[in-house]
Structures are given as structure tokens and as C-alpha cells.
Amino acid sequence: MLRHPPASLVVTHKDVDELAAMQRKLLEGVQSGKSQAMTPAGPDQTLGKSAAPAPRGASRQVTFDAREAERQRRQQMTVAERLGL
């Protein structure tokens, strides 16, 4: 059975041209002794890249903070508010 690739996998001529330009730039840098890895990325080079992952336990801390805020809010509620009256 032949399946079509999802739309996100479609490669355009513009994509190919951009990749070729990047490859050419990297090869020129390697041949001249410069490395692209040590140069800071400009704003156009970071587009589309995800941010650094959250530190371990960050989601647990957010959950704990939310529970603590909810607990404090409930402590300040009156009995009628708690019963929904």
C-alpha cells in the first residue's frame, strides 16, 4: 500500500536551497579553519528551535506551588463559600 507523507514532511525547493547554502557556509568555514559551533547564533539562526528543557523536578514544583496556592485560597474562604451558598 502506498501512503503519502504528512504535510509536515514535504520539502520545497526553498528548503533545499537553504540547506545547500548552510552546507556551503559550513564547508567554507571548515576549509578556512573556522568553526560555526563557537560563534554565537543570531536571531535568525535560532528561529524554530525549541528552548532548553526544564530542569528535573520543575513540573513537580509547579504542581506543588499550584496545590499550595489552592490550599491558601481555601483557607481564606468562608464556610458559606466552601459550601457554594
At 72 the pLDDT is 86
Name residue, grid cell 556551503: 24
pLDDT in tens, the chain (85 residues): 556 666 666 778 888 888 899 898 888 887 777 554 555 555 555 555 566 666 677 677 777 888 888 888 888 877 777 777 6
What is the residue range of 75's domain? 56-85
At 38 the pLDDT is 54
Quote the number of domains for the chain.
Answer: 1
44, part of any domain: no
64 CA to centre of own chain: 23
DSSP string, 24-46: HHHHHHHHTT--GGGSPPPTTTS
Non-local (6+) Cβ contacts of 36 within 8 A are 25, 26, 29
At 14 the pLDDT is 85
Quick one: which of 44, 46, 26, 24 has its CA closest to 35? 26
63, part of any domain: yes
Global pTM value:
0.30
70, part of any domain: yes
**SS3 of residue 10 by DSSP:** coil
